[in-house]
Amino acid sequence: MEGNSNWKPNEQGGESTGNNANDWRSKHEPDLRKKVLHVMIEKLKKLFPNHNPNDISEVAARVEDKVYDMATDKDEYLRKLAQKMQVIQEKIKNAQSNNEQSRSSLNGSNTADQAA
């Protein structure tokens, strides 16, 4: 399949290494990866509204591809992607919390400096 860098030989039921006849990738529904990637991109766009949508799509595709390659079954694939999305959400939440604390401490120190 020329032109599709995300295509894996076993994704279409072929064999990439050894005997993959029982590989979960050859048995999943055809649009699984597209659906999962679409959900990831939409969530990331909400989390990063000021970022370039093409960059978001590229990052999501790389993460999805890596997890797809490493997963031993569909459940692990979906679970690991959900965990990665959760980690991203937590990091953003923590960063926002830290930014708010920094701003309030800066505002507090400015007030104290002005009073002195």
Q: Write the DSSP string, 1-39.
A: -TT-TT--GGGGT--SSS--TT-GGGTS-TTHHHHHHHH
With a CB cutoff of 8 Å and minimum separation 6, the contacts of 61 are: 6, 37
Name which of 111, 27, 21, 116 is nearest 77 in CA terms: 27
Identify whether 4 is part of a domain. no
Identify whether 5 is part of a domain. no
- Domain CATH number, residue 94: 1.10.246.20
Tens digits of pLDDT across the chain (116 residues): 444 455 454 444 444 444 555 689 998 888 999 999 999 999 999 999 999 999 999 999 999 999 999 999 999 999 999 999 999 999 988 888 888 877 777 776 555 455 54
Identify whether 7 is part of a domain. no
Identify whether 35 is part of a domain. yes
- What is the pTM (predicted TM-score) of this model? 0.67
Identify whether 2 is part of a domain. no
Identify whether 14 is part of a domain. no
Measured CA to CA, the distance from residue 78 to residue 57 in angstroms comes to: 18
Domain count, the chain: 1
